[in-house]
Amino acid sequence: MLRRTTPSSNNNKRRRNKTNALLEGEEALSSLDVTYPIALLLGLSLGFGIARIIVYTRLQYIAAKFLTLRIFQPDARVLEYDCGNSGRNLYYYPKNVKFVTYKGPEVKGDLLGQISVQAEIPVQIETAAYEKSLSGMREESMDAVVSTGAFTRVLKEKGREVLGDVLKESSRVLKSDGQAAMIFIEPKSDELMDVLEKNGRALFNPMEVDEKWETLPLFPYLIGTMTKKERGSSSNINSDGEKPKSELQSIRSRRKPKK
């Protein structure tokens, strides 16, 4: 027997079907609203992570190149603050480096001792505040002072005044031969730039930094050097009455003017 369907029952079914379709559509849109931003965030996070890895890998290469370029003195003596770059700088120092003194409140002596054997560069560990003057570290005894992140750490934890004291201590131990320099590889910040320029003005010649790294859109870095002023001279002038060529010739650089 055929069932007879009234017009009203057909209308009710159509309404129910339409309502169900609307509900399903709303659920799909709701799912899309949640899924799209999650996918976007995951994509951005992945891209951010890849960019960080690329910058870090490239930074290792430039650190090795820069340290070799800048520390050229025979039997060079180096003071490095902290255990920056996880001690990897020991692998990057040129073979003319006689020894490296590591100084900082939390220097990892065991780690550095192991790397020292592999890199064949003797190390001396000084567990002390960065700015503290050590009686065993004579004035004008170092060819280079190196910071890979230590200046940034001091600025964040101790402030501008203490970082200024660190710069003074760096100047004290550096030789006054026009070649000894403070070398830094630091995450860029306007405050760090300001302290280096203002506090270092009386102690060092104008800063030279790698222009390319300073202007990176992601993870910009200050990779540069400041040579200590020769004693009794306000500028670094050689015997011919000329300023020496930039120490950063192999990488794009600029010399910042005095203010």
Which domains, ranges and CATH numbers included, belong to the chain?
58-255 (3.40.50.150)
Closest CA relative to residue 154, chosen from 167, 140, 173: 167
Q: Residues 7-18: pLDDT tens digits?
A: 544 554 445 455
pLDDT of residue 255: 45
Token pair of 234, please?
A: 């306000």
Token pair of 221, please?
A: 């870095």
pLDDT of residue 31: 52
Return d(Cα 92, Cα 235) in angstroms, integer. Answer: 30
Q: What is the pTM of this model?
A: 0.72
Return d(Cα 131, Cα 145) in angstroms, integer. Answer: 13
Q: Judge contact between 129 and 158, C-beta under 8 A.
A: no
38 or 246, which is more confident?
Answer: 38
Return d(Cα 88, Cα 192) in angstroms, integer. Answer: 23
pLDDT of residue 145: 97
Across 72-84, average pLDDT: 92
Mean per-residue pLDDT of the chain: 78
pLDDT band at 252 (very low <50, low <70, confident <90, very high): very low
Across 234-242, average pLDDT: 44
pLDDT of residue 167: 96
Q: Residues 157-188: pLDDT tens digits?
A: 999 999 999 999 999 999 999 899 999 999 99
Return d(Cα 106, Cα 94) in angstroms, integer. Answer: 25
Q: Judge contact between 54 and 221, C-beta under 8 A.
A: no
pLDDT of residue 140: 94
Residue 239 predicted with pLDDT over 50: no
Residue 150 predicted with pLDDT over 50: yes
Q: How far apart are the first and last CA of the chain?
A: 102
pLDDT band at 98 (very low <50, low <70, confident <90, very high): very high
Residue 98's CB is within 10 A of a number of other CB atoms, namely 13
pLDDT of residue 233: 53
Residue 75's H or E segment, with its range, is none
pLDDT of residue 37: 59
